[in-house]
């Protein structure tokens, strides 16, 4: 018989713990990333925490596997309660029907007003909003580089927002910086990294050692931020 489950705080986060007359501790990561433990009746909580700590790397890997799978398999949803990212934070959609379409960020919610709840309509209004926000956020951040570029005799960067299938940004020799509107879903530090990367291309078109040195000096955290972007769901 299994005892009623309790929740305990482990190194890997909150876990659901049940006890049964089994002989070993079972650790499972569920598809939503939550942690489930089934322990023998006589195992102390300290011992359970130690065992979870030892499996922490495995737990992290399982969670990553599930979230990658999730990112591949689950298309974005356009119903009330669905989550969408903006500047690295997750917001929940709250849909209401009204005469005038619009979208307001309120607390943790994206409050959207649409003429009908049809997925297509919600998606259209949401994507329009993302595109406007992307242009605004990118422009504000790119602005900071104009003086830097002009001091170095580089072309003054000008922004173009464009959907690209496989990249966050690109730079042209005339100073045009193309940025993917999807990038506005990422944390602002990640956006700044992509912009710094593209601005470096105004000086060095390829990714050679001089490019890397320049990027390193302008954005010391670039490797970490790049990894974070790649993991973004
Ligand atoms: Zn590049």
Token pair listed for 150: 């002009």
User: Rounded to the nearest whole angstrom, what is the distance from the C-alpha of residue 137 to the centroid of ligand 1?
Assistant: 20
Going residue by residue through the chain (233 aa), what tens digit of pLDDT does each one get? 566 789 999 999 999 999 988 889 999 888 778 899 999 999 999 999 999 999 999 999 888 887 776 666 567 899 999 999 999 999 999 999 999 899 999 999 999 999 999 999 999 999 999 999 999 999 999 999 999 999 999 999 999 999 887 789 999 999 999 999 999 999 999 999 999 999 999 999 999 999 999 999 999 999 999 988 988 76
Q: Are strands 109-114 and 89-97 parallel, antiparallel or unpaired?
A: parallel
Token pair listed for 147: 């003086």
Which pLDDT belongs to residue 73?
A: 54
pTM tops 0.75, yes or no: no
The DSSP annotation for 39-94 comes to EETT--HHHHHHHHHHTHHHHHHHHHHHHHHHHHH-----STT-EEEETTEEEEEE
Give CA–CA dist 104/120, Å, rounded.
Answer: 19
CA neighbor of 103 nearest in space, from 129, 78, 75: 129
Going from N- to C-terminal start, the domains of the chain cover 6-73, 83-128, 136-231
Which pLDDT belongs to residue 110?
A: 96
Residues 6+ away with beta carbon under 8 Å from 191: 87, 137, 138, 141, 183, 184
Which pLDDT belongs to residue 76?
A: 87
User: Rounded to the nearest whole angstrom, what is the distance from the C-alpha of residue 181 to the centroid of ligand 1?
Assistant: 17
User: Rounded to the nearest whole angstrom, what is the distance from the C-alpha of residue 195 to the centroid of ligand 1?
Assistant: 10
CA neighbor of 141 nearest in space, from 219, 82, 196: 196
Give CA–CA dist 108/131, Å, rounded.
Answer: 20
Please list, residue by residue across 66-92, b when 16 or more beta carbons sit within 10 angstroms of its beta carbon and e when fewer do. eeeeeeeeeeeebeeebebbbbeeebe
User: Rounded to the nearest whole angstrom, what is the distance from the C-alpha of residue 175 to the centroid of ligand 1?
Assistant: 14
Residues 6+ away with beta carbon under 8 Å from 145: 157, 195, 199
User: Rounded to the nearest whole angstrom, what is the distance from the C-alpha of residue 74 to the centroid of ligand 1?
Assistant: 29
User: Rounded to the nearest whole angstrom, what is the distance from the C-alpha of residue 105 to the centroid of ligand 1?
Assistant: 33
User: Rounded to the nearest whole angstrom, what is the distance from the C-alpha of residue 132 to the centroid of ligand 1?
Assistant: 25
Q: In the beta sheet, which residues pair with residue 174?
A: none
Q: In the beta sheet, which residues pair with residue 170?
A: 178
User: Rounded to the nearest whole angstrom, what is the distance from the C-alpha of residue 212 to the centroid of ligand 1?
Assistant: 10
Task: Determine contact, residues 96/110, Cβ cutoff 8 Å.
Answer: no
Task: Determine contact, residues 156/175, Cβ cutoff 8 Å.
Answer: yes
User: Rounded to the nearest whole angstrom, what is the distance from the C-alpha of residue 56 to the centroid of ligand 1?
Assistant: 34
Query: What is 136-231's CATH topology?
Result: Zincin-like (3.30.2010)
User: Rounded to the nearest whole angstrom, what is the distance from the C-alpha of residue 158 to the centroid of ligand 1?
Assistant: 17
Give CA–CA dist 62/31, Å, rounded.
Answer: 9
Which pLDDT belongs to residue 4?
A: 74
Token pair listed for 109: 């919610």
Q: First vs last Cα of the chain: how many Å apart?
A: 39
């Amino acid at each position: 018989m299994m005892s009623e489950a309790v929740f305990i705080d482990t190194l890997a986060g909150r876990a659901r713990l049940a006890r049964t007359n089994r002989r070993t501790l079972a650790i499972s990561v569920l598809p939503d990333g939550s942690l489930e433990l089934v322990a023998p009746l006589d195992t102390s909580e300290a011992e359970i925490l130690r065992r979870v700590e030892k499996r922490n790397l495995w737990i992290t890997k399982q969670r990553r596997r599930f979230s990658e799978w999730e990112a591949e398999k689950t298309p974005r949803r356009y119903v009330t309660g669905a989550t969408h990212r903006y500047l690295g934070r997750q917001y929940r959609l709250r849909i209401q029907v009204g005469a005038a379409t619009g979208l307001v960020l309120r607390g943790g919610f994206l409050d959207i007003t649409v003429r009908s709840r049809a997925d297509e309509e919600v998606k259209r209004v949401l994507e329009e909003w993302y595109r406007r926000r992307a242009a605004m956020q990118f422009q504000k951040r790119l602005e900071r580089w104009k003086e830097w570029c002009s001091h170095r005799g580089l072309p003054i960067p000008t922004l173009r927002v464009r959907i690209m299938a496989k990249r966050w940004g690109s730079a042209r020799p005339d100073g045009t910086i193309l940025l993917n509107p999807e990038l506005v879903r990422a944390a602002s530090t990640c956006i700044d990294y992509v912009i710094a990367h593209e601005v470096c291309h105004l000086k060095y078109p390829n990714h050679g050692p001089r490019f890397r040195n320049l990027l390193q000096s302008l954005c010391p955290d670039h490797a970490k931020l790049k990894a974070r972007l790649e993991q973004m769901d």
